[in-house]
Amino acid sequence: MSEMKETEAKRPIMPDAGADNRPLVELTHVEKHYGDLHVLKDINLTVRKGEVLVIVGPSGSGKSTMCRTINRLETIDSGDIRIDGKPLPQEGKELASLRAEVGMVFQSFNLFANKTILENVTLALIKVRHMDKKEAEQLAMDLLARVGVDSQASKMPSQLSGGQQQRVALARTLTQDPQIILADEPVAALDPVTARQVMQDFVRINKEMGISILLNIHHVELAIEYADRIIGIRAGRIVYDGPSKQVDQAVLNAIYGDDTETEATA
């Protein structure tokens, strides 16, 4: 194993002591079409270090697409996306290393069904960060404990509740030592009580580790409760970008139009 890998492997996962306010993700004049469908319209958005930012909007408004462009799961037609000041590369090693800064959590958890909870978390530490098994297991247990599921380590994913599985997915994302975690509807598959617990996990990770959080949610009340800042998107356009405390009925009307009652509380 090369010396460089050795150093990389030993890089500790630590709370970011010097949490500043710098822009971590910057989208400038981003445009995207799917064929004739204009899905992202002049998107300008800055996510700062340490922020919890929640995107809300009606179904089909472009929330998932916007999330996916940020780690280049989707390409854009024009505009500019920067991660920590660096333009998002087209492909190759540079893209892989920038992607590592951006952790991703999905609605469906995406755990390996045939591996234990512990193995789900140690896998990346061993394969990607080249840790030895014992070191990987120690760190994995620490990360599982951060989200309160360390007692489940030897179980299989199917033996866990949805909320517990989502927490494991969050712990696994933390193995990347990301600067920001993107989450596409991470609580949509969960009951209301569990959804709140998982939202609290995201906020705790944010506070304890200084990791920025950008997530999509269609439950606007949860968004207001847990976000520092809300982005409201309607038909591919940002119609609100401001503190969650300032989201009032007028803002909700701008985002959801006449469908506020049904869409916002669905």
Q: Which is nearer to Mg ion, 105 or 126 (CB)?
A: 105
The 8 Å CB, 24+ separation contacts for 222-226 are 222/187, 222/195, 222/196, 223/54, 223/56, 225/199, 226/52, 226/54, 226/199, 226/200, 226/202
Does residue 257 touch ligand ADP according to CB under 6 A? no
Q: Residue 212 is encoded by which pair of tokens? A: 């920025």
Residue nearer to ligand ADP on the CB measure, 57 or 178: 57
Should residue 71 be labelled a site residue for ligand ADP when binding is judged by CB under 6 A? no
| CA proximity to 54, closest of 225, 230, 183, 182 | 230
Please measure the distance between the N-terminal and C-terminal CA atoms of the chain and give it in whole angstroms.
52
- Comparison of 66 and 209: residue with beta carbon closer to Mg ion: 66
For ligand ADP (CB under 6 A), the number of binding residues is 11
CB of 175 to Mg ion, least distance (A): 25
Does 112 sit near ligand ADP (CB under 6 A)? no
Out of Mg ion, ligand ADP, none, which partner does residue 62 contact, by CB within 5 to 8 A per kind? Answer: ligand ADP
| Interaction of residue 232 with ligand ADP, rule CB under 6 A | no
Q: For residues 105 and 250, give the distance between their C-alpha atoms in angstroms, rounded to a whole number.
A: 31
d(CA 235, CA 106): 22
Q: Which stretch binds ligand ADP (CB under 6 A): 60-68, 109-117, 169-177, 194-202?
A: 60-68
Q: How many CB atoms lie within 10 A of CB 43?
A: 23
Closest separation in Å from C-beta 197 to ligand ADP: 23
Under rule CB under 6 A, which residues in 17-36 are in contact with ligand ADP? Answer: 34
The rounded Cα 99 to chain-centroid distance in angstroms is: 12
Least distance from C-beta 182 to ligand ADP, angstroms? Answer: 13
Of 58-66, 86-94, 172-180, 219-227, which part binds ligand ADP (CB under 6 A)?
Answer: 58-66
CB 105 within 8 A of CB 173: yes
In the list Mg ion, ligand ADP, none, the entry touching 103 (Cβ below 5 to 8 angstroms by class) is none
- Contacts (CB under 5 A) with Mg ion, residues 48-67: 63-64
Shortest Å, Cβ 63 to ligand ADP: 3
Phi, psi dihedral angles at 103 (to 5 degrees): -80, 150
Residue 179, SS3 per DSSP: coil
The residues that touch ligand ADP, with contacts defined as CB under 6 A, are 34, 37, 39, 57, 59-65
